[in-house]
Chains A and B, each alone.
Chain A
Amino acid sequence: MMRVFVIAEHRMGELNPISIEMLNLANALKGDGTSEAVVIGKDINAYAEELAKYADVVWKIEDNSLENYNPELYIDVLMQLFANNKPDVVLIGNTSCGSEYAPYLAVKLNAPIATDVVAVNATDGMKVSRYLFQGKLMTDLKLKDAETYVLTIRQGVFKEGVEVNGEIKDAGIKPSKEPARKFVQYIEPEVGEVDISQAEVIVAVGRGIDDESNIELAEELAELLGGVVAGSRPVIDNGWLPKDRQVGISGKIVKPKLYLALGISGAFQHVMGMKDSELIIAVNKDPEAPIFGVAHYGIVGDIFEVFPELVEKLNEMKG
């Protein structure tokens, strides 16, 4: 009987939806076994109730010292829980925090691990699918036969599921030690002069823009379209645009009426920040670029050829 554990994630008073998505996956995998959520923190009753809709069992691990995520304490309490409740599979969100402690937990559980997983087949051993090269290739992996597997799950993949309305249990577990690493504080995002999440038109540039001096072209186009310029992470890392212009998982989520993606490959972390835009037009010289998987219209070509022509025509129209 398979026991599939899901480690819920929450921060600053909000349950991360990946927690429910993982329970959907757990319910699909468990067969005649159980889906079991684990929620760790302080004041976690509301999370436990939400999770119980989708889990057969919810384990609460509650303590004042668990108020903020700490990987050492998470591993400490999880190892205590798993000592008496042996998991067949442990699912963890492939988030900043989840991807941090999952490999450590895998070592302590002596479990094979696969990260950023988008499909799971547990009928004949443990097989998973995941992307490579930031979305350009995909691979099916078979993990070595083991008693327990650890998988981190990509968000937004397992959205469909059914309610199972399970029970909530207090695990009665407390951390057994002081962690070496200490949480100090959260640091809020910087606020700049433009809030790209409110913009109706965004001209977004990626590494394909090639040089800081070319940002001007994007600015000209944005101005003609009444929009703002934003960028993918490398553009911000290079200091070509300020941090508050970054679109993506570690930047801003945007939903403009028009999103022009110029020289952006379409890595998952970027796409998560713009996929709900009303109209997405992408220009990329690589016909296989993953961005064409989310764009409504695509142009295979050099931005420096398509761009100036468009700017000129728009200028003509304005007279």
Chain B
Amino acid sequence: MNIIVLAKHAPDPESEINVASDGKSVDERGLVFDINDWDRYAIEEAIRIKEEKGGEVVVVGVGSKCEDTLRKCLAMGADRAIKIPVDTSLDAYQTAEAIKEAIKDEKFDLILAGMMSQDLNNAQVGVLLAAMLDLPFATAVSVISSIEDNSLTVARELEGGYNEEVTLPTPCLITVQSGINEPRYVSIMGIKRAKTKEMKEVSVSPTTSTLEVEKMYLPPVKKAEMIEGDPSEIANKLIEILKDRGLI
């Protein structure tokens, strides 16, 4: 089974997030980039399928700085990478268009994407690409339960702990939910091997953007009453509150 995985090089939400001086973007200085968390699960799933069924895993990244993430995927076990170098930030439509263009000569049975990015949380690129390629699709997949020659059975996550099981013919596109597997760590051997693997650059000219950022800011929040002091004082205050409420 030949699989294409989409992996975004994305800022970690736990890094320092500040609005840049233009008031319209995130200040890059405090940001630590890594593979988008959901895409870690996607690449792991692809490698597991390959290990079981054979075939090839090709990882695709959009962005001029996405190389680290692509290398990481190669080190985990992907066979080759396609880098689409673009400097400007693209919107989800443009990102999907660029990927469509870059993979037009690839033969694949399955495209795996993350369900959403950890920075912009749009959850769009995978499905947009499915629509552009007219592929059957399923999002928020929590289990791929069987892989037949021409079809897949998957469970996709609904609300409240429910899932729905569906079947899809291949080729198709799936976006994965976190927790679908336990992603492996990158080994030293893997990193060595990755150096010899193909990383192809494919340039595409972006289509026009469908949106404009007017403003970026810290969200207004109603603040909790803060308890301050050293740990012992805090513990005492907590116990007081719990006593007042009859909880202890």
Residues of A within 8 A of B (CB): 11, 68-69, 71-72, 95-97, 99-104, 106-108, 112-116, 127, 131-144, 146, 179-190, 201, 225, 233-234, 236-237, 239, 243-244, 246, 249-253, 257-258, 265, 279-282, 288, 290, 292-301, 305-306, 308-310, 312-314, 317
Contact = CB atoms under 8 A, between A and B. Distances in A.
A293 B225 CA distance: 10
23 contacts: A96-B158, A100-B140, A113-B92, A137-B17, A137-B217, A140-B213, A141-B212, A181-B168, A186-B158, A188-B161, A189-B161, A239-B182, A249-B159, A252-B161, A282-B224, A292-B221, A297-B225, A298-B225, A299-B234, A300-B228, A301-B234, A306-B231, A306-B234
A110 to B, nearest CB: 10
B118 interface: yes
Contact of A135 (B164, B219, B241): B219
Interface stretch (B45-53, B65-73, B125-133, B191-199): B125-133
B163 interface: yes
B214 A100 contact: no
A296 B222 CA distance: 10
Given A133-B119, A137-B26, A143-B211, A243 B161 contact: yes
Interface in B146-182: 153, 155-169, 172, 178-179, 182
Q: Is the interface of A mostly helix, strand, loop or mixed?
A: mixed
A258 to B, nearest CB: 5
Q: Which 5 A-B pairs have the closest CB atoms?
A: A189-B161, A237-B179, A293-B221, A107-B131, A298-B224
B232 interface: yes
A309 B210 contact: no
Chain B interface residue bracket vs A: 35 or more
B29 interface: no
B147 to A, nearest CB: 15
B165 A201 contact: no
Nearest to A250: B157
Contact of B215 (A95, A139, A293): A139
B203 interface: no
A11 B160 CA distance: 12
A84 B219 CA distance: 40
A134 B222 contact: no
A100 B158 CA distance: 11
A233 B212 CA distance: 32
B32 interface: no
A127 B178 CA distance: 31
B54 interface: no
Given A96-B156, A107-B131, A282-B224, A188 B162 contact: yes
A181 B167 contact: yes
A181 B232 contact: no
A281 B211 CA distance: 39
Contacts, number: 247
Interface of B: 11, 13, 17, 19, 26, 92-93, 118-124, 127-128, 130-132, 136-140, 153, 155-169, 172, 178-179, 182, 208-219, 221-228, 231-232, 234-236, 238-239, 241-242, 245, 247-248
B137 A104 contact: yes
A265 B219 CA distance: 14
Contacts of B121: 115-116, 131-134
A305 B220 CA distance: 29
Given A71-B137, A137-B26, A237-B179, A288 B209 contact: no
B167 A11 contact: no
Contacts of B130: 104
A295 B222 CA distance: 9
Nearest to A200: B247
Contact of A293 (B19, B92, B222, B227): B222
Contacts of B227: 297-299
Given A103-B124, A103-B131, A301-B234, A114 B225 contact: no
A208 B127 CA distance: 32
Contact of A138 (B128, B156, B216): B216
Contacts of A144: 208-212
Given A293-B222, A300-B226, A140 B13 contact: no
Given A137-B218, A317-B239, A72 B136 contact: yes
A233 B179 contact: yes
B124 A142 contact: no
